[in-house]
């Protein structure tokens, strides 16, 4: 969207990323690269490091080793303005984390007016267009606690989109939702993929991952153990750990 792609044309490149919390090493050398319009799904058991990886990409967690390069710029080097970097990266959390004291509209305009310094009217026009597009315009004056979980999560995604990010990170965005509310959120994400949004999606929804992802990465104990096109990962995984994981998902009836 903004910033010229560099020679290799990658929106995001992660090299040798290590991250520990105290003695616990959560990420043990992650390498991952995304081209523009690419959608990558991260699958793996809880605790495999999916969320930590996404939080590291948004610079919400300091990393121990390795590099994160966005559009050719090493954003993990010293002295980088993290606020500027975060404006280009959207992240949506499992628990929505809307601001409960603000209306839906203000939730969506806060970033554009304060971080991007847009005028209130520009920000509102942008917010209303997005709310309209995803069927939430009638909720603009409501407070988050008046909305269903699915609506809140869609607002949270719209809040990120209003920043017009280069890349969108989705951290198990349907995991906290009642089953009947999941599809509305997934439909929205599908539409974003069709519109060409570059995304990294951590998810437990295997069916969804299968039909939206260009590439699926299986995280296991802090490394990307296996990656490939969804058909290959889901139909003929090479690694025994991947087979085991997919088998357990299958048995839980979630595929």
Nearer to another protein by C-beta: 85 or 249? 85
Minimum distance of another protein from residue 119's CB (angstroms): 17
C-alpha to C-alpha distance for 84 and 179, rounded to whole angstroms: 36
Minimum distance of another protein from residue 168's CB (angstroms): 11
Nearer to another protein by C-beta: 116 or 255? 116
Site for another protein in 26-85 (CB under 8 A): 58, 60, 83-84
CB-CB contact of 99 with 107 (8 Å):
yes
Minimum distance of another protein from residue 87's CB (angstroms): 3
User: Distances from the Cα of 141 to the Cαs of 98, 131, 228, in angstroms?
Assistant: 14, 11, 43
| 87 in contact with another protein (CB under 8 A) | yes
Minimum distance of another protein from residue 45's CB (angstroms): 22
| 245 in contact with another protein (CB under 8 A) | no
Which phi and psi angles does 123 have, rounded to 5°?
Answer: -60, -40
The 89-92 sheet, strands edge to edge:
89-92, 167-171, 199-202, 39-43, 215-220, 223-228
Q: Is the dihedral of CA 174, 252, 213, 201 positive or negative?
A: positive
Write the DSSP symbol of residue 214. S
| 144 in contact with another protein (CB under 8 A) | yes
Minimum distance of another protein from residue 213's CB (angstroms): 23
| 93 in contact with another protein (CB under 8 A) | yes
Stretch of 29-37, 63-71, 157-165, 191-199 lying at the interface with another protein (CB under 8 A): 157-165
Residues 6+ apart with CB under 8 A from 110: 99, 102, 159
Among candidates 218, 212, 210, 213, which has minimal Cα distance to 237?
Answer: 218
CB-CB contact of 219 with 172 (8 Å):
no
| Residue 125 CB burial class (10 angstroms; 0-12, 13-18, ≥19) | middle
| 86 in contact with another protein (CB under 8 A) | yes
x/- track of binding to another protein for residues 95-134 (CB under 8 A):
x-xxxxx--------xx--xxx------------------
Q: Site for another protein (CB under 8 A): how many residues?
A: 26
Residues that bind another protein (CB under 8 A): 58, 60, 83-84, 86-87, 89-91, 93, 95, 97-101, 110-111, 114-116, 144-145, 159-160, 163
């Amino acid at each position: 969207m903004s910033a010229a792609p560099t020679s290799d044309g990658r929106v995001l490149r992660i090299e040798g990323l290590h991250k520990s919390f105290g003695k616990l090493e959560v990420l043990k050398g992650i390498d991952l690269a995304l081209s523009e319009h690419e959608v990558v799904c991260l699958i793996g058991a809880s605790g495999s490091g999916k969320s930590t990886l996404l939080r590291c990409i948004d610079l919400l967690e300091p990393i121990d080793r390795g590099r994160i390069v966005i559009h050719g710029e090493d954003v993990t080097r010293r002295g980088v303005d993290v606020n500027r970097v975060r404006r280009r990266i959207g992240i949506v959390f499992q628990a929505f984390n809307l601001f409960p004291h603000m209306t839906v509209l203000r939730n969506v305009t806060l970033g554009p007016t304060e971080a991007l310094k847009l005028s209130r009217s520009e920000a509102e026009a942008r917010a209303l267009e997005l709310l309209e597009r995803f069927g939430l315009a009638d909720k603009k004056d409501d407070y988050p606690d008046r909305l269903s979980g699915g609506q809140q999560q869609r607002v949270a995604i719209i809040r990120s989109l209003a920043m017009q990010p280069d890349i969108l990170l989705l951290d198990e965005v349907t995991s906290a939702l009642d089953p009947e509310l999941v599809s509305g959120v997934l439909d929205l994400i599908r539409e974003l993929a069709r519109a060409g949004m570059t995304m990294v999606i951590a998810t437990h929804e295997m069916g969804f991952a299968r039909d939206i992802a260009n590439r699926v990465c299986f995280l296991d104990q802090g490394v990307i153990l296996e990656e490939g096109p969804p058909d290959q990962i889901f139909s003929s995984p090479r690694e025994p750990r991947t087979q085991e994981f997919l088998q357990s998902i299958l048995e839980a009836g979630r595929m």
